[in-house]
Amino acid sequence: MHGTIDGFSYGLVTPLVAYLMACLGGALGLRCTTRSLLVSHSRRPAWLALGSAAIGSGIWTMHFIAMMGFSVDQAPIHYDRPMTFASLGVAVVMVGVGIFIVGYRGATGTALFTGGTITGLGIASMHYLGMAGMQLNGTLEYNTVLVACSVVIAMAAATAALWAAGQVRGFLWSVGASLVMGLAVTGMHYTGMASLSVHVHTTGAPVVGDAPTGLVAPMLIGPLAFLLLAGVVVVLDPMMIMGGPAQAPVEQKPGVPAHPAVRHATAHPSPPHPRRHQDRRGVRTPQNR
């Protein structure tokens, strides 16, 4: 028989908290991506890696906070531990690939499309891999059209967010982009959940796995602590708030000065003016009188 699905067991609490976590991860990740465009190539990988981990942790935390409010009548839900951890790893790695492409190739044209597509697929993969780790006494069935819509939403949101990060227009611009990204990612999650139906088995073996309160809640501590640490790094960096130059910095290369040498004018003393010698022949002295 079909089970009755309730995605809002705690009312609007879980959707709102999930949205805020998606916005937080997006804001930190986009600011780190923006920062990477303002530094030399030697420091760029560190900022891009931090941004990838922030976005991946944010969307993973968003997903499982939202799942805390998900329930199926007559089918207690448990989670497979390896699959749940794998969903976090997939999110960070695939988002990282997309961000590194944009970080090194620029947020325009083919690079933006490729990076946004890979990042969006990473978000969708995290969602459905996390759903595959959900164990219950029943069978999960999905509506293909709604699943496709959720994937398109994820790719469009990721592309728009990466484009905004590449504009380097200051802190408020990234905050606005993160709010839009959080809305799109949360919308993608609930679109995917709307495609789900559960066929509950009346008989069957006991469900194995960890209960949500015993696995997901403790697992959220790690990503939340990381997001807090990433937030401290972003806040303490002055260029995060003040913005940066519109052009990329000049890199130091062997034998090439970092800045063009400025030729200072040397003050040369002006040559002495030749003294005008008076024509003594035209000067009358008392002896010539």
Q: How far apart are CA 277 and CA 289, in angstroms?
A: 22
| Residues spanned by the domain of 61 | 9-241
Query: Is pLDDT larger for residue 20 or for residue 228?
Result: 20
User: Residue 265 has what pLDDT?
Assistant: 45
User: Residue 248 has what pLDDT?
Assistant: 44
**Average pLDDT in the 112-129 region?**
93
User: Residue 257 has what pLDDT?
Assistant: 44
DSSP letter at 280 equals G
Asked whether the beta carbons of 230 and 32 are under 8 A apart, the reply is yes
Output the CA torsion sign for 106, 129, 77, 212.
Answer: negative
User: Residue 262 has what pLDDT?
Assistant: 44
User: Residue 252 has what pLDDT?
Assistant: 43
Query: Is pLDDT larger for residue 98 or for residue 33?
Result: 98
User: Residue 64 has what pLDDT?
Assistant: 87
Token pair belonging to 45 = 């990988």
Q: How far apart are CA 8 and CA 168, in angstroms?
A: 38
User: Residue 145 has what pLDDT?
Assistant: 96
Residue 168, domain member (yes or no): yes
Q: Quick one: pLDDT band at residue 151, thresholds 50, 70, 90?
A: very high
CB neighbourhood size of 19 (10 A): 21
Residue 68, domain member (yes or no): yes
Q: How do the residues of the chain divide into helix, strand and coil, expressed in percent and rounded to 5?
A: 60, 10, 30
Residue 86, domain member (yes or no): yes
* Lowest mean per-residue pLDDT among 115-119, 180-184, 263-267: 263-267
* Tens-digit pLDDT profile for residues 10-62: 888 999 999 999 998 888 888 888 888 777 788 889 889 998 999 888 999 89
Number of domains in the chain: 1
* Lowest mean per-residue pLDDT among 73-77, 180-184, 186-190: 73-77
* Tens-digit pLDDT profile for residues 231-276: 888 777 765 555 444 444 444 444 444 444 444 444 455 555 555 5
**Average pLDDT in the 159-183 region?**
79
User: Residue 253 has what pLDDT?
Assistant: 41
* Lowest mean per-residue pLDDT among 16-20, 122-126, 193-197, 207-211: 207-211
* Lowest mean per-residue pLDDT among 86-95, 122-131, 208-217, 266-275: 266-275
Q: How far apart are CA 189 and CA 126, in angstroms?
A: 10
User: Residue 207 has what pLDDT?
Assistant: 65
* Lowest mean per-residue pLDDT among 74-78, 79-83, 102-106: 74-78
Query: Is pLDDT larger for residue 282 or for residue 198?
Result: 198
Query: Is pLDDT larger for residue 37 or for residue 63?
Result: 63
Residue 139, domain member (yes or no): yes
Residue 286, domain member (yes or no): no
Residue 157, domain member (yes or no): yes
Residue 279, domain member (yes or no): no
Mean of pLDDT over the chain = 78
Residue 123, domain member (yes or no): yes
Looking at the predicted structure, is the pLDDT value of residue 69 above 70? yes
In what helix (H) or strand (E) does residue 198 lie, and over which residues does it extend?
Answer: strand 196-200
